[in-house]
Amino acid sequence: MVSPTRFRETQQMTVRNTVTAALSSLALLAIPMGASAQDYPSKPVTLVVPYGPGGAADLAARTLSTEAPDYLGENILVVNKTGAGGVVGSTQVAKSRPDGYTLLMARVGSQATVPAINRTIPYKWDDFTFLGLIEKNPFVLGVSADSPYQSFDELKTAIANGERLSYASAGVGTLLHMAMLIMLDDLGVDSEALIHVPFKGGGKATAAVVGGHADLIFHNLSGLSGAIESDQIRPLLTTTPERFAAIPDTPTAQELGHPNLENVVGWTGVWGPKDLPEDVVAKWVEVLGAIAADESWVETTEKLGSVPTVLSPDDTKAFVEGQVKTFSDTADKLGMVIQ
């Protein structure tokens, strides 16, 4: 178990080093304003993904970049800008020129979890223009197919009886880590009731459970879908309000008496730097509204394990504010805040 003090020191050093190095290259994405907002867009739009290729954010960005140009009228160039748990890419967009040509593929980790825990990063959760949420990715509590626990109630009973089980995460302070801490708090047990086994990434965490190196994992469905389909992971609970079509036999948190766990959900949205022109915002509201009705985008998004969920800028901001509060409350309670 990594101590809160060591966690804070490590995270502060990582963020300082990676963000300082990256900010020197901000000019690479800054595109001079040559056209009025009424002409927007008159050139391709850069969509910054603050995580690496192949992950949930990257897949969502590339799906959007394939379908949205038909409604935007210009191409979307996807650029992966990684580092510090999404902070580097997010900072780059936050400090870019507010002309609508540099946008962010926002994810729950970089835009809610990290700002809630680390109060020293170069941006706050609301230092952006919210253009719209586009999808939610439900979380699933899973155990190995060889696990003796056939249901959430059986697992809950084991935890209540003091069974020293272990859970895998993508690292200390990541969404997978915070998600499990929120679940333990909702169960009314100590945050150290289970043994935390952090890995470098969700894929390795999933593989650890499949291989019997950890007992359980609380991960987004897109990260577990392959293991579930191949009968390597047994899903015990999902955080969707209703049962998810891909795993129809898996009960919801609401059904199991834990509605608060519906707050544990992955999501993706389109953000811009603060003070985007109203016409740019209006254009993206129009584009995302069209995307919501685009059969190809909806089908691809669902295949990736997400629920298409396009929200207005105001509704998006309200949703994200609630997410930040959930993670902030947990971080405060457990002494994980970096400030």
173 band by pLDDT with thresholds 50, 70 and 90: confident
Q: Which long-range contacts (CB under 8 A, 24 or more apart) does 241-250 make?
A: 244/138, 244/307, 245/302, 246/221, 246/305, 247/140, 247/221, 250/140
Query: Does residue 51 have a pLDDT over 60?
Result: yes
3-state secondary structure of 134: strand
> Are 48 and 92 contacting, i.e. CB atoms less than 8 angstroms apart?
yes
Measured distance CA(129)–CA(103) in Å, rounded: 9
98 band by pLDDT with thresholds 50, 70 and 90: very high
Query: Does residue 221 have a pLDDT over 80?
Result: yes
Q: What is the mean pLDDT of residues 156-169?
A: 96
CB neighbours (10 Å) of residue 70?
A: 13
pLDDT score, position 315: 98
Bridge-based pairing of strands 76-80 and 128-144 is unpaired
Model's pTM, two decimal places? Answer: 0.83
Q: pLDDT tens digits, residue range 68-81?
A: 999 999 999 999 99
- Provide the mean pLDDT of the chain: 90
| Range with top average pLDDT, 17-26, 95-104, 220-229 | 95-104
What domains appear along the chain, each with residue ranges and CATH number?
A: 41-137+265-334 (3.40.190.150), 138-263 (3.40.190.10)
pLDDT score, position 38: 63
4 band by pLDDT with thresholds 50, 70 and 90: very low
> Apex CA 171: angle with CA 334 and CA 20, to 5°?
95
Measured distance CA(134)–CA(322) in Å, rounded: 17
pLDDT score, position 2: 45
% of the chain surpassing 70 pLDDT: 89
pLDDT score, position 246: 87
1 band by pLDDT with thresholds 50, 70 and 90: very low
